[in-house]
Amino acid sequence: LSHFWEMLLLRKGRPAILHGAKVGVATVLIAGIYEQVRGLSRAEVADRLEASTLPDRAAELAAIDAAYGAEAEAVARTHGAFLDMTPETYDTIKRRILDNWDEIQAIAAQVPPPAEIARLLEIAGGPTTVSELGFSRAEAALALDNGHYLRNRFTVRKLARVLGLDQERSLL
């Protein structure tokens, strides 16, 4: 999220924000996604995975183009493994999620709740919300929806997309 916001600020000609401040707020948001993951039972995950469909490549490319502008082509190249997934590959990913659900839950259990992270950031005098960073809710949602394209690895945001979790819920 932090890197997405840095790129957004540069594209819009807005002043830089301290990287650590952005990372702190992003940590609160990502902890909110982990909190949603912790709340899912294996049966709920199985149902969500059954309903999950392979993302449409053209729609993904359009989202990348809208979110990244001039950098879109480079971002799409980095994200090629995900953009070029076959239905079989997507089904394998879904199976691996369910097969490893206990491990995923163990990882999620190690992430403090977002309120605790926000409390610690407040004690340190750091921002805890996107608005404190000067971003609108729409800009924060854009980052949550599209920031995962910057990394060619399976992150909790990609997991949230496969499971159909409302990543923007963490903005509340």
Q: 3-state class of 135 per DSSP? A: coil
Q: 3-state class of 133 per DSSP? A: helix
pLDDT at res. 5: 94
Over the stretch 138-157, which tens digit does the pLDDT of each residue have?
Answer: 899 899 889 889 888 899 99
**What is the amino acid identity at position 82?**
F
Q: Could you give the dihedral angle defined by the CA atoms of residues 33, 35, 41 and 44, in that order, rounded to the nearest 10 degrees?
A: -30
Contact residues for 85 (Cβ-Cβ < 8 A; gap 6+): 54, 55, 93
Over the stretch 100-140, which tens digit does the pLDDT of each residue have?
Answer: 999 999 999 999 999 999 999 999 999 999 999 999 988 99
Distance CA 76, CA 120 (A): 36
Quick one: pLDDT band at residue 167, thresholds 50, 70, 90? low
pLDDT at res. 14: 96
Mean pLDDT estimate for the chain? 93
pTM of the model: 0.91
End-to-end CA distance of the chain: give it in Å, rounded.
17
